[in-house]
Every structure is written in C-alpha cells, then in structure tokens.
Amino acid sequence: MKISISIGIPAYNEEKNIGRLLTAILTQRTCSIEIDQIVIVSSGSTDRTDIIVEDFAGKDDRIVLIRQRRREGKASAVNEFLKVAKNEVLVLESADTIPEQETIEKLCRPFIDEKVGMTGAHPIPTNNDNCFIGYASHLVWNLHHQIALKTPKCGELIAFRKIFDSIPTDTAVDEAWIEYEISKKGYKILYVPEAIVYNRGPETVRDYIKQRRRIACGHLDLTKRVKYKVSSQNFTLLLRALLEVFPLSKPSKWPYFFGAVTLEGISRLLGYYDYVSGKSHVIWDIVESTKKV
C-alpha cells in the first residue's frame, strides 16, 4: 500500500523558481509513495508567482494555491498548509529549491516505519565553490551534512507526520520548531543523505550575513523558549565536522576555509546580538541572490 503525501510550499515572490520546482515535483519518480496534494501558500506575492501557480493548477487538480493578502512570515504560511493538508505524512519544501527526481520517494519511504516522525533531505548548493562566497555556502551545507550524519539536522526539504495542528507564528526557524515538536513526542528523526535537493546560497557577503544571522537568532530563541537545541548548535559536533571537511590536501583553499569560518562566526555573533536586543526575524529581508537555483 502506497503512502499518500501532501506537499506544502511557502512562497513569496518566487517567479524565478516556482515553475521549475512544480515541474520537478510533478515529474518525481515514485514507488512506495503517492503525491496526493501540492499546496502553495503565496504570502502577499507581488510578482508573477500566483499566475504561474494558477497555470499549473489548471492542468493538475492536485495543485492548490492559497493566497495570504500580506506577508505574515513563513511559520504563518506553514500553518495555512497544516490547515488544509489531508494526509498523515507531509512534505515541506522551500520554494527556492529543486529536488532530484527520486528525492521525494527517498525522503518519505522511511515512514513505512511507524516510529519515524520526521526525515530531512540533503541540500547541495548550486553555487560555484571556486569563488569565496560560493565556497562559504558549500562549507555551511557540508558541515550540516557531516553533523546530520551523526545527529539529524533538518532543513530546506523535510517530511513529517501530522501530529500537531500549528507552530508558533513568531518563530523564524520553522523546520527546527517542527523538529522539536516531533522529538518531544518520542518519534525518530532521520537524515536521508541520498535525498538530494538543490538550493542556491547567497552570492554576496552581505546576503550571507543577512541569512545566517537570522537563523542563528532563531535557534537561540527556540532554545530559550522550549530548551531545545538543533545539532548545529553543538560545539563539539561542529568542531568535529570542521575537522572532517578541512581541505588538507588543497592548500589553495585554506584562505577560503578560514575566511568562511570567520564569516560564519561573525554571522552567529550578529545573530546573538539580534537575540539579546529582541530583534524579530519572523518576516525577514529577502536574500535576492538565492532566488534562482
């Protein structure tokens, strides 16, 4: 018996990628799962996002467009998806990503085991790692990969059981909050490294810091509120991962490596500053350079 799933895609001004993403989802190769519902929650989009989605919806009745009149933050969009999702297993995918052809199958197959409550895909940036900022994006996701192999850390594309009705609308780290909800109910959380999803890292230092400080601030807020830490906050795991990805045989990459580590450290310090100063990242500044995968 196949597992029926609902896919949710929160979106804001994603005209550059939403068509490619929907095409990738509609052409997924599946065996043990069935994509039964695809819900796009467009949060106050002012570009052609809604028009593109409506065109796809006219050709496939599994696609549903929900419009929010204004941006209320990604967590609010996730809650709109949860309201209409009609299956037990849900997939949440960032609108600025592209999954490989069998990724959704690989991501959801573990739910055959009733003890599994959440799975996370393996994000890989499409940036050129021969330039500094591209290298920094690859380093971040390589670190996440190494950490997640030991202690799952989920982001960009996740699947989870619908065992809660909503998440707080004032969180800036929706996937981490879902991870907490699943964890506290005793379900297994799995990392699925073969479930590849492509994303686009920031292309400028400014955009990199903007994105990473928001995430750092959100994780600190989550820890304060519910005493839950994602694995990337574990210093021991992070240090071990850094040693594992250090380009020992490529001395030419050493300046990039140490520069990227420094940039991440600065971003986390700024995230801490935002946290202690009470800055909200619920409705965050768009990182434009990540919008075309």
**Looking at domain 3-286, which CATH architecture does it have?**
Alpha-Beta Complex (3.90)
Chain segment 122-154, per-residue pLDDT in tens: 999 999 999 999 999 999 999 999 999 999 999
What does the CA dihedral 225, 43, 178, 269 come to, rounded to 10 degrees?
-50
For residues 156, 157, 159 and 164, what is the CA-based torsion angle, rounded to 10 degrees?
30
Listed by start position, the domains of the chain span 3-286
Tens digit of pLDDT for each residue in 3-41? 999 999 999 999 999 999 999 999 999 999 999 999 999
pTM of the complete model: 0.95
Task: Give the pLDDT score at 283.
Answer: 79
The pLDDT tens digits for 176-218 are 999 999 999 999 999 999 999 999 999 999 999 999 999 999 9
Identify how many contiguous H helices and E strands the chain contains and give both numbers. 9, 8
